[in-house]
Amino acid sequence: MKKQAEKYVLITGASSGLGKETAHKLATEGYKIFAGVRKQEDKESLEGLNPNITAVFLDVTSDESVNKAFETISALTDKLYALVNNAGIALAGPVEYIPVDILKQQFDVNVFGAIRVAQKFLPLMKSQEAKIVNISSMSSYGNFPFISPYCVSKRSLDMFFNSLLLECKMPDLKVVSIKPGTVRTPIWDKSLAVCEKNMEFLCEECKKKYEKEFDFLIKNARKNNDEGLLPKDISNLVSKILKCKNPKLSYNIGKDSFAARILSLLPQWVINALVKYSLKKRIK
C-alpha cells in the first residue's frame, strides 16, 4: 500500500462527471490525486471525498493557470505517475454556418488544453511506468453530423498524442486513448446550455434551414443524460490502465463505441450513405 500511495496522478476537469468519479475511484485505491478544478466549492467538495485528493485550481485554456498548478504540484512531489486528460466540452452546429470562434473554443479546451498541460508536466513524469490517459470519444471516428467541432477535436487529440508518443525521447512513457460511447455525464447539460446560447447568434437563414436538426440535437443531448455508460465504467477502465504494465494504445468502451469503430473501417462513401440514411430516419 505504501508504494501505491506514493503514486501521484493529475486529473483535469475533475469538478464533476467522469473526472470526479475517476478522482474518487483512484483515491480509494491509494493513489495521491491532484484534481483540477476552477471553483472553490468544487475544491471543497472533492477534498471532502477522500484525504488522498488535493484539488488544484486549473483552467487548461490558461497558461497562467497551468503554470500556477505546476508550481503547486511540484512543491509537493517531483514525480507524476500519470496524467488523465479529462477536461472537455462538446459544441455543435452545421459546418456551413458555425462561427470560427466556436471552433476555436472547442479546440482550446479539448486539444490545446490537453497539450498545454502535458507539455508542462512531462518533466515530472520520470517513472518507468508513467502514463498519459486521454479521455477521447467514439466521436473521434468522425461520423456524427452536426457535432463536427467535437468530433474533429477528439480526432486531433488522438493524433497529437500519438505524435508525442512517436517523437518523445521517453521510451517508457505510455499514451492511451479511451474512446467511450454515450456516457451519462454533466458534459451534455453544460454543452447544451453553451450550444443553445451560441445558436442565438446564428443567422436567421441558418436557424430556419436547420430547425429540425437543431431540435434533434437538443433532444439527443438530453437523451444522452439518461442512457449509456455510467461514469464509474470509465473510472474503472482508467484504474485498470494505470495498473497495466503495457496498456493498449486505444480502448473502446460501450456497444456504440465498438459499432463506431467497425463503421469507420468501411469506405467513406459507404459510411456517408449509412449515416445520411440513419439521420433521415431519425429527424422528422
Residue 233 pairs in a beta bridge with none
Annotation says 210 is catalytic:
no
Residue 108 has pLDDT above 90, yes or no: yes
DSSP string computed for 220-278: HHHHHTTSSB-HHHHHHHHHHHHH-SS--SEEEESHHHHHHHHHTTS-HHHHHHHHHHH
The pLDDT value recorded for residue 111 is 98
> Residue 147: pLDDT band by 50, 70, 90 thresholds?
confident
Q: Which residue, among 259, 91, 241, has the nearest Cα to 175 in the 3D structure?
A: 241
| pTM, entire model | 0.91
Residue type at 56?
Answer: V
The pLDDT value recorded for residue 230 is 92
Residue 10 is inside which H or E element, if any?
strand 8-11
pLDDT digits (tens, 9 = 90+) for 218-241: 777 677 666 789 999 999 999 999
CATH of the domain at 113: 3.40.50.720
Residue 137 has pLDDT above 90, yes or no: yes
- Provide the 10 A C-beta neighbour count for residue 61: 13
Distances (CA, A) of 208 to 195, 203, 212, 270: 16, 9, 9, 29
> Residue 280: pLDDT band by 50, 70, 90 thresholds?
confident
Task: Please tell me what DSSP assigns to residue 200.
Answer: T
The pLDDT value recorded for residue 3 is 43
Residue 23 is inside which H or E element, if any?
helix 17-28
Give the domain extent around 66: 2-282
Least confident of 60-64, 77-81, 170-174, 215-219: 215-219
Do strands 82-85 and 250-253 pair parallel, antiparallel, or not at all (unpaired)? unpaired
Q: Which residue, among 96, 82, 130, 109, has the nearest Cα to 207 in the 3D structure?
A: 96
DSSP, collapsed to helix, strand or coil, labels residue 27 as helix
Instruction: Compute the mean pLDDT over every residue in the chain, rounded to the nearest whole number.
Output: 90
> Residue 169: pLDDT band by 50, 70, 90 thresholds?
very high
> Residue 178: pLDDT band by 50, 70, 90 thresholds?
very high
The pLDDT value recorded for residue 28 is 97
Q: How many structural domains does the chain have?
A: 1
Angle, vertex CA 182, rays to CA 177 and CA 186, nearest 5: 95
The pLDDT value recorded for residue 225 is 65
Catalytic residue among 8, 31, 141, 150: 150
The pLDDT value recorded for residue 4 is 47
Residue 94 has pLDDT above 90, yes or no: no
Phi-psi group of 182: left, alpha or beta (phi > 0 → left; psi -120 to 50 → alpha; rest → beta) = beta
Mean pLDDT over residues 127-154, rounded?
Answer: 92
Mean pLDDT over residues 65-79, rounded?
Answer: 97
Residue 110 has pLDDT above 60, yes or no: yes
The pLDDT value recorded for residue 2 is 38
The pLDDT value recorded for residue 170 is 93
pLDDT digits (tens, 9 = 90+) for 245-258: 999 999 999 999 99
Residue 91 has pLDDT above 90, yes or no: no
Q: Which residues contact 150 (CB under 8 A, 6 or more apart)?
A: 90, 91, 92, 106, 110, 137, 139, 144
